[in-house]
Amino acid sequence: KRSDAVALALPHEPAIAWTAALLELGTARILDLSDARRRDPAVHYGLPELTGAPAADQRIVANPGCYPTATLLALRPLLDAALIAAESIAVLGTSGASGAGKGLADRLHFCNLAGNSFPYKVGEHRHVPEIEHHLGAPISFVTQLLPIVRGMLVTAFVRPLAGVSPADLLAALRSRYADHPWVTVLDAPDEGLGLGHVVGSHQALLAVGPVARSGLVPVFASIDNLMRGAASQALHNLNLWLGLEPGLGLPPPLAAAPAGVPPAFATALTIHTRAQS
């Protein structure tokens, strides 16, 4: 039978093959969680706070990657408002082991990662082309694994243009996301920013730090890579695409900005799970 929508959580090449087959069968909408079409101009890029809802007649939506989601939420509004230098962006991304995929690799073995942390895929991370394409600017990008299962914290170092202060960057983020409840802009990075506040949720936390002596300003973004960076964002896109309530089936947005030291990973996941039930 003809389906209203199909979500594909497949690797690159199988996703291409299945999309072609499903379209031929008359499937109305295909949400692709792979990286096969994230830079295709004919495909809607599904980052709702930045790209809005897909058109009703759109056949394919590309669900963004996890690092692109966090990085773009933090930086796109600042570039769109011409507040930072486009040629001076450096990004450090830290994530749990699931951020590096589920394939077998020495770096993901428990005995190698437990109690350890190290960079990986330096200079060749597959998310760099996607980030640069949708950011419209080149970046220096390094990822580092943490000895946890999930959660992602991105720190982007940017150079404000002449006369622009960190307060201006903070105001731009607040203005951009004022009507988007699943993005929270914190007063300061040491007041609630942390993986324990986002694990198990659809929430993105953003913050801006002070100017360093080098003239760079750190801009932070924290998400759950398995939720906001994949599954819950896919559901958010489907809701918008099908004309349903945007939050249908999603964890509720934060009622207020988190404060203090975030709970540990296991505690945070328990809290968010109970809140949904």
- Which residues lie across from 1 on neighbouring strands? none
Instruction: For the chain, report the end-to-end CA distance as a whole number of angstroms.
Output: 33
Query: Known catalytic residue: 111?
Result: no
What's the one-letter identity of residue 214? S
* Six token digits for residue 261: 């030291």
241 to 4, 8, 179: CA distances (angstroms): 10, 15, 19
Residue pair 269/98 in contact (Cβ under 8 Å)? The answer is no
Spatial distance between the Cα atoms of 166 and 219, rounded to a whole number of angstroms = 9
- Pick the closest to residue 154 from 137, 141, 135, 173 (CA basis): 141
* Six token digits for residue 188: 């300061």
* Six token digits for residue 42: 């004919």
Q: What's the half-sphere exposure (Cβ side, CA atoms, 13 Å) at 97?
A: 18
- Pick the closest to residue 123 from 136, 139, 137, 108 (CA basis): 139
Spatial distance between the Cα atoms of 133 and 112, rounded to a whole number of angstroms = 34
Residue tagged 């040629």 (tokens): 87
Catalytic residue among 30, 62, 66, 207: 66
Give a three-class secondary structure readout of 243-272.
CCCCCCCCCCCCCCCCCCCCCCHHHHHHHH
Q: Classify residue 109 by its DSSP letter.
A: S
Active site residues: 66
